Amino acid sequence: MLTHIVHQSPELVTFFESLGLPLTEPQKRHLINLADGILVTEGKKTLANIQCQFVEAPDPSNMADFLRISPPLACYNPACLWQMSEE
């Protein structure tokens, strides 16, 4: 299997930046990498298969840690943020 991703897709970067998600730069990078990997990975979309798509792949645990530790992305919609601020 050949590696497909050398750099993040400029279109994905622009899209995710336009969402205005309150993420740190490393979190943004992991989110964009995950989305890019899902788009180009053929077959099963496992974290291991997605990780194999990158030329300069970070430690394999980074993607799993991002999904496990980062706040859920569903909570970044305005209604959810407003509800959380009321609690």
pLDDT single digits (tens) 59-79: 778 888 888 887 666 565 555
- Tell me whether residue 2 is in a domain: no
At residue 44 the predicted structure's pLDDT band, cuts being 50, 70 and 90, is very high
Dihedral sign computed on CA atoms, order 70, 76, 79, 85? positive
Residue 39 pLDDT exceeds 80: yes
- State the residue range of the domain holding 14: 10-86
- Tell me whether residue 58 is in a domain: yes
**What is the pTM (predicted TM-score) of this model?**
0.73
- Tell me whether residue 4 is in a domain: no
Q: What is the mean pLDDT of residues 12-16?
A: 89
CA dihedral 28, 31, 33, 34 (to 10 degrees): 170
Q: Name the domain count of the chain.
A: 1
